[in-house]
Amino acid sequence: MASSTTIRLHIGNAIPPAGAANSVEIIRLWRQIGTSFSDRPFEAQSGLQDGARAYRVHFDSSRLLQAMEAAIEQNGSFSNHRSAHIDDPGNRIDAELSITITGEAGLPGELESYQVATVFLQQLILATSLIHPGAFQMLNARFLGEGAHRFEAQQYDARILHGALGMAMANGWPGLETPGLETVWHWLDHTGVARAATAISDVDRVLFTLLKIAEQRHEYSARTILLIVYQLEVLLDCRETRNLEQLRNRARLVLGPIPEPADCFTELHEVRDSLFLANQPVHRPPLICHNTATALREQIGQHNSAVEAGTAVVLALLQDLIAHDALAYTFTEQMARR
């Protein structure tokens, strides 16, 4: 007989940065999430060293949605609400989620339940990032309830993904679409990204790395660029040559002509190479506070535009794969004599 256990998660900083229009779109997405995960099959890795098992998941995000709606009502946008919170903590930016795990083979154990809940949240981070980058933020997060002290909640910042969306809109390239939730979730299931601890396929390597990008706090350094270049070289099959022009040309083949302001490939390669030559500055991990992001944007060695533009290219390539129900690109080089 199937039995269930519920994992509760408190997110101290749950309202992502977003202007008025994007705030409305993010709320619309979370309303869809609220109706799509009331009782959903989910096959996931069941333990740190275990294989995948079948579960059913009930995801309650109603309190997060209420917090987002309150932010709009009180201050007009998420970003305005976050600014208002600085002077008045009564403008709350926290929320709570719960995930009920039903094991088809019986009551899930404690470790198994937290493992499956964590994998589900990771897949939801990926899904929301591919639909509306920056729509899900999990900062200052902690599990609640009996036994919760034995597990540490992961942290995901929406800032880089939000910046990638803004950069794509400002440059007019790459064109980021808004694929449907069901389409994206089905594609993620098809990749098998929830069923393994180690990514073997190229697309799963890119998706796991996208989670690592989302973990970066105010981090626009060479380390982040290394992750982005890795994603691009894997997606565009340029790992052996590491050829800048080939990388740029293949991105152009998939996403169309690259406007000059959006061409981040040279800076990405230069910073990646400088990192390996030990020429890049290294910053002290900063105090995280209300003005950290603003203070760091002008710091030498921060590569804001390259990180955001490169992340936008990765997201656009993944969206293109989703639109064509594909998992990889195949490029054929041609030769002609004249």
Q: What pLDDT is attached to residue 264?
A: 94
Which pLDDT belongs to residue 302?
60
pLDDT digits (tens, 9 = 90+) for 125-145: 999 999 999 999 999 999 999
Q: Cα separation of 75 and 334, whole Å? A: 56
Q: Does 228 score more than 60 pLDDT? A: yes
**What pLDDT, on a 0 to 100 scale, did the predictor assign at position 223?**
85
pLDDT digits (tens, 9 = 90+) for 281-327: 777 777 888 877 777 666 655 668 889 999 999 999 999 999 999 99
The whole-number pLDDT of residue 1 equals 44
pLDDT in tens, 186-223: 999 999 999 988 899 999 999 999 999 999 887 677 78
User: Is pLDDT above 60 for 19?
Assistant: yes
Note if the pTM is more than 0.75.
yes
Cα distance between residue 223 and residue 233, in whole Å: 16
Look at residue 107 and tell me whether its pLDDT is greater than 80: yes
Helix, strand, or coil here: 227? helix
Residue 142 Cα to chain centre, angstroms: 19
pLDDT tens for 72-104 read 999 999 999 999 999 999 999 999 999 999 998
- Of all residues in the chain, the percent with pLDDT exceeding 70 is 94
Burial zone of 334 (CB within 10 Å; 0-12 exposed, 13-18 middle, 19+ buried): exposed
**H or E, element range at 98:** strand 95-103
For the cut 90, the answer to whether the pLDDT of residue 270 exceeds it is: no
Residue appearing with tokens 């656009």? 316
The stretch 141-155 carries a mean pLDDT of 96
Instruction: Name, in order, each residue with C-beta under 8 angstroms of 198's C-beta and a sequence gap of 6 or more.
Output: none
Q: Is the peptide bond before 257 cis (omega within 30 degrees of 0)?
A: no
| The pLDDT of residue 153 | 97
- Pairwise CA distance, residues 158 & 156, whole Å: 7
Mean pLDDT, rounded, for 231-258: 91
- Radius of gyration (C-alpha) of the chain in whole angstroms: 20
What's the gap between Cα 333 and its chain centre? 32
User: Is the pLDDT assigned to residue 168 strictly greater than 70?
Assistant: yes
